[in-house]
Structure 1
Amino acid sequence: MNQNYEESSKILKALADPNRLKIIDILSCGEECACTILEKFDFTQPTLSHHMKILMECGLVTSRKEGTWTKYSLDIAQANRSILALMQIITPTEDCICKSCNHEKNTECK
């Protein structure tokens, strides 16, 4: 399996923040307006915008405008792909990167 480590790293970094994890949890219930999300935190709107930008850049969250409001939703397909990618990293498989190394002869990994 060709693993996209850059993409996986970006997602893991985004999820490493407890506020962003909470946002993902909130959005797991369905689409929410930024103002509704903000009510659940003790920080400013620019801080929320920063968190949402990071979550959108890694593909976990999408947004749409509705008048003057921005509505956010979880991209379930991307979230599932991310979970599968992580599972492939931590699970030994036939096409695992460790299979491309010849550890017995102490040669370098490809």
Structure 2
Amino acid sequence: MATVFKALGDPVRLRLLFLIASRPSGEVCVCELTPAFNLSQPTISHHLKLLRQAGLVDSERRGTWVYYRVRPETANRMSALLAGVSGERTPV
């Protein structure tokens, strides 16, 4: 879990994860994420790669675009861990 929290230690990656998770469809095209930041597309792709390597998101290429979605198993593990830290009795 240290890798997960390290990946989320960067404000850009935390915001990217929030933007992906908040989509009603559960996924978002990188072409929709890039305009939300004052960063270049390669920089956004780098941050998404780190989120993917940490196991937070999955990606799928469709034509020229890549679509990202949150990995529910990792989100559930984080939730359980944070619930344990806050005093709730949830197994990790």
Give the TM-score band, short-chain normalised.
0.7 to 0.9
Match of 1:46 among 38, 42, 46: 42
Partner of residue 81, structure 1? 77
Partner of residue 32, structure 2? 36
Q: Distance in 2 between matches of 1:83 and 1:14?
A: 16
Partner of residue 19, structure 1? 12
For residue 49 of structure 1, report the CA deviation from its aligned partner: 1.2
Partner of residue 98, structure 1? none
Long gaps (5+) in structure 2: none
Q: TM-score w.r.t. structure 1 length?
A: 0.70
For residue 45 of structure 1, report the CA deviation from its aligned partner: 1.1
For residue 35 of structure 1, report the CA deviation from its aligned partner: 1.0
Report SS of the residue matched to 1:42.
Answer: coil
Report SS of the residue matched to 1:70.
Answer: strand
Larger Rg: 1
For residue 89 of structure 1, report the CA deviation from its aligned partner: 5.5
C-alpha RMSD over aligned residues: 1.7
Report SS of the residue matched to 2:36.
Answer: coil
Q: Distance in 2 between matches of 1:65 and 1:39?
A: 19
Question: For each residue in 1:17-52, what CA deviation from the matched residue of structure 2 results, as whole angstroms up to 9, or x when unmatched?
Answer: 111111111111221111110010000111111101
Long gaps (5+) in structure 1: 1-7, 94-110
Matched, 1:56 2:52: yes
